[in-house]
Amino acid sequence: MRRRTVLKVLGLGLGGATVLGGGGLGAYYLTARQDTVGKIAFDAALPIPPLATSETGASGARVFALDVRAGETRFKDGPATRTWGVNGTHLGPTIRARRGDRVEFAVRNGLDQETSLHWHGMHLPAAMDGGPHQTVPAGGTWEPRWTIDQPAATLWYHPHVHGATADHLYRGLTGLFIVDDEVTEALDLPSEYGVDDVPMIVQDRAFDGDNQFEQRVPLGGSLGVIGDEILVNGAIGPYFDVTTRLVRLRLLNGSNARLYNFGFSDDRRFSLVATDGGLLAEPWETDRLSLSPGERAEVVVAFTPGERVELRSYPSEHGGALGRLDGFDDRLDVCQFRAAGSLSDDSALPAVLGTAPDLAGAAVARERSFVLASDQINGRSMAMDRIDFGVREGTVEVWEVTNDNGFPHNFHVHDVRFQVLSVDGGTPEPPLCGWKDTVLLVQGKRYRLAMRFSDHTDPNVPYMYHCHLLQHEDEGMMGQFVVLGDGEEVGVVPKEHQHS
């Protein structure tokens, strides 16, 4: 049952009085805006996901064991919540590896249904990607391996079962995957994990009367589940004890659908230092930063001794006329920062960070265009056995992506980082000037994305591109491409992968 389609129809009724009656509808629209400022207790310390441990395998690779399982987690007074987790009952450990590391995983699926773990943002062979073609059956094990070969960045992992990604992620399967390299290590940026380099997995959840996660789609909503409680690393309304003047936050929008427009309660400025694919060329100072589902940002914030300040999500202008129903007008407190009476001060905000994306002048082998509308891309729904196209190893392509209907979407590409060359012909805003793998598509605007496809050719096993609003992805707003070596042609998806 496509709930959203029905709700969309109701949403269209908002202009008239036919659906719920005039007064009721107006009142519903007005109360659809949420504001939790001043209502959050901030009585739980921010949990820091543990770092995943690894062993050295026979081949010299680092071997990580990841057990996916069901369990119960206590988020609030009353009954515990049924959740899923990796090496625990909810969320998963932070995996950390350096460029050049060979990594191997033993992913054990202890659930009673198939799932997968996809390494979002990772450059790796398609067969190791953990997408819909690499599902792990209930009780099964999957052992992907690859060599980390990309610049330092904050990546993440989550399930990617076609048609069930939203559900599996919502139940709690989410973790960070931090890649390190010599460039970031040589910088003076705050880098002590959990102390001044703080992971923040931001997710919204709705709870029912028994404290169970409820997949509530707002009446008239167009994006899927929107929760009214904000969790950071699995805690509702946490606080963080600040002990250093500068703190780096690694923010992940790990929500199914909600867009965040982050800022601080006193509107202080902070510096964006990295986006999805790694460091910016230089810090960009701002007081607001918008992240759509799947996007990450590293920011550096300065604190003064003894102060308290909240990280908040402010209303966003990107929702369109009915955006309120999808939470775009909400104001939500996310996390309180409590600075100690004296703060150590031994990191810095370097003036120069990484290298800017350099694809603007590259020779372009091929241009393609992608129009997102009605749960489809270019008029087609995802099909497991259809490879939409092949790209050539070693080439740069420019993909022009447009959101052509009345609802918000974003766009994520597996395997590569891309450079946003232009938005509607103009220079992108600074937060889109670094390497990205996921980008919000503001309705009607044209995004030109440049990406280079290198190595890992495989004519038969595809990578995905899709809207990262998970209900849209599950409903088919996704396509598949393969990377082809010299002389190779688009192949056929192996039979065992063609189900669902």
Name the phi and psi angles at 309, rounded to 5: -150, 150
List 90, 162, 472, 497, residue binding Cu ion (CB under 5 A): 472
Between strands 62-73 and 102-109, the pairing is parallel
298 beta partners: 250, 274
Q: Which is nearer to ligand C2O, 312 or 468 (CB)?
A: 468
Q: Which does 417 bind (CB under 5 to 8 A by kind): ligand C2O, Cu ion, none?
A: none
Between the CA of residue 25 and those of 45, 267, 481, what are the distances in Å? 40, 34, 44
Stretch that binds Cu ion, among 214-222, 304-312, 391-399, 413-421 (CB under 5 A): 413-421
Stretch that binds ligand C2O, among 3-11, 84-92, 219-227, 464-472 (CB under 6 A): 464-472
List 120, 250, 312, 448, residue binding ligand C2O (CB under 6 A): 120
Q: Are 84 and 172 in contact (CB under 8 A)?
A: yes
Nearest-5° Cα angle at 117, 92 to 412: 105
Q: Does the protein bind Cu ion through residue 166 (CB under 5 A)?
A: no
- The helix/strand/coil state of 163 is coil
Q: Which is nearer to ligand C2O, 120 or 409 (CB)?
A: 120
Question: Residues in contact with Cu ion, total (CB under 5 A)?
Answer: 6
Q: Which does 466 bind (CB under 5 to 8 A by kind): ligand C2O, Cu ion, none?
A: ligand C2O
Q: Which does 467 bind (CB under 5 to 8 A by kind): Cu ion, ligand C2O, none?
A: Cu ion
Binding mask 8-47 vs Cu ion (x if CB under 5 A, - otherwise)?
Answer: ----------------------------------------
Question: Residues in contact with ligand C2O, total (CB under 6 A)?
Answer: 10
Calpha distance 225→427 (Å, rounded)? 33
Give the sign of the dihedral formed by CA 464, CA 465, CA 471, CA 475. Answer: negative
List 466, 474, 475, 481, residue binding ligand C2O (CB under 6 A): 466
Instruction: State the minimum distance, in angstroms, from the CB of residue 413 to ligand C2O.
Output: 9
Q: Which does 497 bind (CB under 5 to 8 A by kind): ligand C2O, Cu ion, none?
A: none
Q: Which does 296 bind (CB under 5 to 8 A by kind): Cu ion, ligand C2O, none?
A: none
- Quick one: tokens of 228? 């009214």
Residue 1: CB atoms within 10 Å: 5
In 39-86 the beta strands, taken as DSSP E runs, fall at: 44-45, 54-56, 62-73, 81-86
Stretch that binds ligand C2O, among 3-11, 176-184, 312-320, 461-469 (CB under 6 A): 461-469
Q: Does the protein bind Cu ion through residue 120 (CB under 5 A)?
A: yes
Calpha distance 498→496 (Å, rounded)? 6
Give pairs for 21-26: CB < 8 Å, separation 24+.
none
Between the CA of residue 178 and those of 11, 152, 193, what are the distances in Å? 40, 7, 11
Stretch that binds Cu ion, among 4-12, 71-79, 409-417, 444-452 (CB under 5 A): 409-417
List 160, 162, 436, 472, residue binding ligand C2O (CB under 6 A): 160
Q: Does the protein bind Cu ion through residue 417 (CB under 5 A)?
A: no
Q: Which is nearer to ligand C2O, 46 or 252 (CB)?
A: 252
Q: Which is nearer to ligand C2O, 255 or 316 (CB)?
A: 255
Map 293-325 to HEC letters.
CCCEEEEEEECCCCCEEEEEECCCHHHCCCHHH
Q: Which residues sit at the interface with ligand C2O, rule CB under 6 A?
A: 118, 120, 158, 160, 294, 412, 414, 464, 466, 468
